[in-house]
Amino acid sequence: MTPLLDGSAQGIAAAVEGGFASAVEVTEAALGRIEARDDAYGAFTDIVARRALAKAAAIDAARARGERVGPLAGAPFAVKNLFDVKGLATRAGSKINRDLPPAAADATLVAKLEAAGAVLVGALNMGEYAYDFTGENAHDGPSRNPHDLAHMAGGSSGGSGAAVAGGLVPIALGSDTNGSIRVPSSFCGTFGLKPTYGRLSRARTFPFVASLDHLGPFARSVTDLALAYDAMLGRDSDDPAQADVAPMPSALTLHDGIGDLRIAKLGGWFARSGDPCAFEAVDRVAAALNATRTVELAGAAKARAAAYLITMAEGAALHLGRLRTRAQDFDPDVRDRLIAGAMLPGAWVAQAQKFRRIFHTQALDLFRDVDILLAPATPVRAPKLGQRTFTLDGEELLLRPNIGLFTQPISFIGLPVVAVPVWTAGERLPIGVQVIAPPWREDLALRVARALERDGVVSAPVAHVP
């Protein structure tokens, strides 16, 4: 079963569909691998073995009856523990939420993946209340980077990155408010998709910043990323924030190559304040795509500032009651940022929302002339666990607030992004590049990522067993 678990969800589904493996066998093997390896990775907080085996048995029974079993049949997946899983308290990385009653129903995206045949095996570690870029958690311990256990998995979807990179599951779901899919993808060397803001349903997930929250998949192949994304498309009346936009599946064009797409690197803000390796990775991707142009998003620094302020204020508003009554039960690093957020002048936040529209207009103007933008995903490779500061352009900065320098301006205006992992000979850890598309064009970002994967420029290998 090892080759199947180290391979793709697509490969597992083909094996189950073709009768070469049963869904129960795959699920048992995945549960055994999680049991054997996850003490090292710290990726899982909950295992739902009974549910998983029952789902797998249902898939095998459906196949035996000659029914279609779905494009992800038998593929194990897991979700960041801010997704509702029926029967579990949705802890969202916190101690406080463990007091909530068990969820009465699954999150919409969990149900959609299961409808495509995937098998939920558990819930994943995350930074408390998603206010985190490190993957560390004061209550559950850190998610560790499977490629070097002394290093961060990244956050806040740290368990999602670690579970996929560690070969525990081929697909995981995470959330991304300011970079929480793209940062762990960069640190752990996985593919990650942050769709357009409003594209996928957020129903029955624990929020952080309503203006900026997105959900999306992690995977070790672009095809799996696209399969998961396509399976999760569709209007959901349970999510009032979802946009009324027609679904655009990516499968039909995924393997078309870059064709005549106009691709450019982002300069300015996106070409400074990082380790050289971050920019070298962008250069390698750009060279492979014959992208010679560099363009500017002039308002990026202000966009990042605005995203920062909206996050502080909306996050604090969400948690104000808990800050009043249960301050001692928060992770101190999260609590004190939220306390500061509760004190922000309202005028700053109102101006930030005005600037969001201005910056959105700037980006749409740029996309008249370009189809895809390239930028670093993180300014550095994964820092060591426990590291508090890093030095960028000669200035020592707090690490937690600044890992998202390059992701925040992009999610601020909700653009779809695929994070692709770049490896350098002699380095144990990867670093990611953002492949950024115009609003609602996830298909373009996935198509470019697939072309890079096909040409061997980017890849997401399973980490060596610890």
CB of 237 to other proteins, least distance (A): 16
Helix (H) or strand (E) holding 233, with range, is none
CB of 243 to other proteins, least distance (A): 11
Alpha-carbon span 460 to 419, nearest angstrom: 11
The DSSP bridge pattern shows strands 431-436 and 76-80 to be unpaired
* CB neighbourhood size of 388 (10 A): 11
Kindly state the DSSP code that residue 268 receives in the 8-state scheme: G
CB of 296 to other proteins, least distance (A): 15
- Tokens standing for 385? 């666990």
Closer residue to other proteins in complex, CB, 259/345: 345
CA trace torsion 207, 225, 22, 2 (10° rounding): -110
Q: Is residue 156 annotated as a catalytic residue, yes or no? A: yes
- Tokens standing for 362? 């700037």
The answer for 31, left when phi > 0, alpha when psi is -120 to 50, beta otherwise, is alpha
Closer residue to other proteins in complex, CB, 64/398: 398
Closer residue to other proteins in complex, CB, 128/224: 128
- Where on the chain is the footprint of other proteins (CB under 8 A)? 211, 299, 301-302, 304-306, 308-309, 312, 320, 323-324, 327, 332, 335-337, 339-345, 348, 350-358, 360, 398, 401
CB of 381 to other proteins, least distance (A): 24
CB of 303 to other proteins, least distance (A): 9
Count Cα atoms within 13 angstroms, Cβ side, for 77. Answer: 36
Closer residue to other proteins in complex, CB, 292/361: 361
Alpha-carbon span 429 to 189, nearest angstrom: 8
Closer residue to other proteins in complex, CB, 303/436: 303
172 neighbors 80 (Cβ within 8 angstroms): yes
CB under 8 Å to 313, separation ≥6 — which residues?
Answer: 341, 344, 346, 348, 349
CB of 334 to other proteins, least distance (A): 11
Name residue 395's beta-bridge partners: 392
Q: Is residue 180 annotated as a catalytic residue, yes or no? A: yes
Q: Which of 55, 80, 194, 265 is catalytic?
A: 80
3-state secondary structure of 390: strand
Alpha-carbon span 367 to 410, nearest angstrom: 13
The DSSP bridge pattern shows strands 431-436 and 372-376 to be antiparallel
* CB neighbourhood size of 451 (10 A): 22
CB under 8 Å to 383, separation ≥6 — which residues?
Answer: 134, 151, 152, 390, 399
Q: Which of 94, 157, 180, 250 is catalytic?
A: 180
Closer residue to other proteins in complex, CB, 229/355: 355
Closer residue to other proteins in complex, CB, 345/386: 345
Closer residue to other proteins in complex, CB, 11/315: 315
Name residue 214's beta-bridge partners: 176
CB of 341 to other proteins, least distance (A): 8
431 neighbors 381 (Cβ within 8 angstroms): yes
Q: Is residue 80 annotated as a catalytic residue, yes or no? A: yes
33 neighbors 164 (Cβ within 8 angstroms): no
Q: Which of 22, 94, 143, 156 is catalytic?
A: 156
CB of 155 to other proteins, least distance (A): 17
- Tokens standing for 434? 């953002």
What positions carry a catalytic annotation? 80, 156, 180
